[in-house]
C-alpha cells in the first residue's frame, strides 16, 4: 500500500477527529440547516436507503433519516460516533475504517453519501473512496464538500487537519468523479463555501 493511505496517516486522522469532538457541536450549528435544505431541494425518494461514509456525529445521516430514509453511518472516530448514536437513534452507526470499503458488496445501498470527507484526503485516497462509492451505490453517490476557500478560521482549521485541502480545491471534481465512473447529474451551492454534487452510479 502506498504511503499516502498508510495506517499511520489514518491513525493520525482518527486521533485528530477524536480530539476535536468537543468543538463539533459548534460546527454543526450552521451545517445542520444547510444539509437539511440541500436534501429538501434534492428531494430524493425516501424508499432509497443511504450509506453515509465518514458520518462523524451523524449530521447528514440524521437529515436523511428525518426524511424517512433508512440510514447506516460509518466512521472510525469513536468519540464522534458516540455523539452520533445519542443524537440520531434512528440511524445505525458502525465503527469502520474506509480503507476497508472493498468488504462492502456491490450495489448494496441505493445512495452512498459523504459530507466534508474528501477535502481531508490526498488524491489517491479520494479515488479509492469515490470508486468504492460508485461500486457500492445502486443509484446515486452524493458528495458535500468545499468548492472554494473558506474564511481565515476555516483555512486555519483545515491547515491543522492536514495538508490536502489546497490540492483538493485545485483539482477538478468532474475529472475526479469521471475517473471513478461517476457522472455529475446535478450540482449546486448549499452553503457559503460548500457545494453538493449528485452523481449517477450503478450499472450503465
Ligand atoms: C470533517 S468530518 C465530517 C463529518 C460529517 N460527515 C459531517 O459532515 O459533519 C470528516 C470525518 O471523516 C472521518 N474519516 C476520515 N478518514 C476516515 C477513514 N479512513 N475511515 C473512517 N472515517 C474517516 C473522520 O473521523 C471524520 O468524522
Q: Whose CA is nearest to atom 1 of ligand 1?
A: 116
DSSP annotation of 9 reads H
Q: What confidence category does residue 4 fall into, taking pLDDT thresholds of 50, 70 and 90?
A: low
Indicate the pTM of the whole model. Answer: 0.94
Task: Please work out whether the CB of residue 129 comes within 6 Å of at least one atom of ligand 1.
Answer: no
Q: Indicate the SS3 state at residue 151.
A: coil
Query: Closest by alpha carbon to 117, among 91, 136, 99?
Result: 99
Query: Closest by alpha carbon to 193, among 151, 152, 131, 148?
Result: 148
Cα–Cα distance measured from residue 199 to residue 194, given in angstroms and rounded to the nearest whole number: 16
Cβ pair 145, 193 in contact under 8 A = no
Could you read off the pLDDT of 47-89 as tens digits, one per residue?
999 999 999 999 999 999 999 999 999 999 999 999 999 999 9
Atom number, ligand 1, closest to the C-alpha of residue 5: 19
Task: Please work out whether the CB of residue 56 comes within 6 Å of at least one atom of ligand 1.
Answer: yes
Cα–Cα distance measured from residue 46 to residue 50, given in angstroms and rounded to the nearest whole number: 9
Cα–Cα distance measured from residue 59 to residue 87, given in angstroms and rounded to the nearest whole number: 9
Distance 138 CA to ligand 1 centre (A): 22
Cα–Cα distance measured from residue 129 to residue 168, given in angstroms and rounded to the nearest whole number: 14
Neighbours of 107 (CB within 10 A): 13
Task: Please work out whether the CB of residue 65 comes within 6 Å of at least one atom of ligand 1.
Answer: no
- Amino acid 22: pLDDT: 82
Could you read off the pLDDT of 138-183 as tens digits, one per residue?
999 999 999 988 787 777 777 777 788 889 999 999 999 999 999 9
Q: What confidence category does residue 1 fall into, taking pLDDT thresholds of 50, 70 and 90?
A: very low
Fold for 3-200, please state it: Rossmann fold (3.40.50)
- Amino acid 58: pLDDT: 97
Cβ pair 148, 174 in contact under 8 A = no
Query: Closest by alpha carbon to 145, among 108, 178, 100, 177?
Result: 177
Amino acid at each position: 500500500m502506498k504511503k499516502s493511505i498508510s495506517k499511520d496517516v489514518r491513525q493520525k486522522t482518527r486521533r485528530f477527529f477524536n480530539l476535536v469532538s468537543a468543538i463539533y457541536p459548534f460546527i454543526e450549528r450552521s451545517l445542520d440547516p444547510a444539509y437539511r435544505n440541500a436534501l429538501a431541494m434534492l428531494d430524493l425518494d425516501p424508499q432509497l436507503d443511504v450509506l453515509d461514509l465518514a458520518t462523524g456525529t451523524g449530521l447528514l445521516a440524521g437529515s436523511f433519516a428525518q426524511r424517512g430514509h433508512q440510514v447506516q453511518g460509518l466512521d472510525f472516530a469513536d468519540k464522534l460516533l458516540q455523539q452520533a448514536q445519542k443524537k440520531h437513534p434512528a440511524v445505525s452507526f458502525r465503527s469502520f475504517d474506509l480503507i476497508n470499503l472493498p468488504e462492502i458488496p456491490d450495489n448494496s445501498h441505493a445512495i452512498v453519501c459523504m459530507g466534508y470527507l474528501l477535502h481531508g484526503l490526498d488524491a489517491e485516497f479520494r479515488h479509492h473512496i469515490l470508486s468504492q462509492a460508485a461500486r457500492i451505490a445502486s443509484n446515486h453517490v452524493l458528495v458535500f464538500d468545499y468548492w472554494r476557500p473558506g474564511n481565515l478560521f476555516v483555512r486555519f482549521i483545515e491547515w491543522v487537519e492536514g495538508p490536502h485541502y489546497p490540492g483538493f480545491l485545485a483539482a477538478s471534481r468532474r475529472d475526479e468523479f469521471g475517473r471513478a465512473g461517476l457522472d455529475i447529474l446535478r450540482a449546486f451551492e448549499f452553503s457559503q463555501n460548500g457545494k453538493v454534487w449528485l452523481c449517477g452510479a450503478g450499472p450503465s
